[in-house]
Homo-oligomer: A and B are copies of this chain.
């Protein structure tokens, strides 16, 4: 009986299949964003803003954290979004240091369509992903 640290061929295949599925999803997402006329990163940002827990505007720092970016990389991303009129900046009322970023009408529209498509896609691949996650969990434990 193999020790739990030792991975067999099946485990490698499962891990690889999981990453393969993720890459395909990400590729789908990138192509959908490009087709919608925005970059994948911009799409990610719109979703992170609109989908922020309990709010629909976020500070620059919050966005950076949600996107796993450095602060000043987020600033640059927001600059590009503002230039495309997809989001707006507004100073926070409660803390003058903070800037709140929210979607414009254009941003909302773009995100709506993309999100519907993503939800459809995810529903398609969810069974496979769940299956792979389950496989990773239960063998050789």
Chain A interface residues (CB < 8 Å from chain B): 5, 7, 9, 11-20, 22-24, 27, 44, 47-48, 50-53, 56, 66-68, 111-112, 115-116, 118-119, 122-123, 126, 129-130, 133-134, 136-137
Contacts and interface: CB of A to CB of B under 8 A. Distances in A.
Contacts of A126: 133-134, 136-137
A16 B66 contact: yes
The complex is assembled from copies of this chain, and their number is 2
Contacts of A53: 13, 17
Rank and list the top 4 A-B pairs by shortest CB-CB distance, nearest first.
A16-B51, A12-B51, A126-B133, A23-B68
B115 A15 contact: yes
A129 B133 CA distance: 9
Nearest to A56: B9
11 contacts: A7-B116, A11-B115, A11-B119, A15-B47, A15-B115, A15-B118, A15-B119, A16-B47, A16-B51, A17-B53, A123-B136
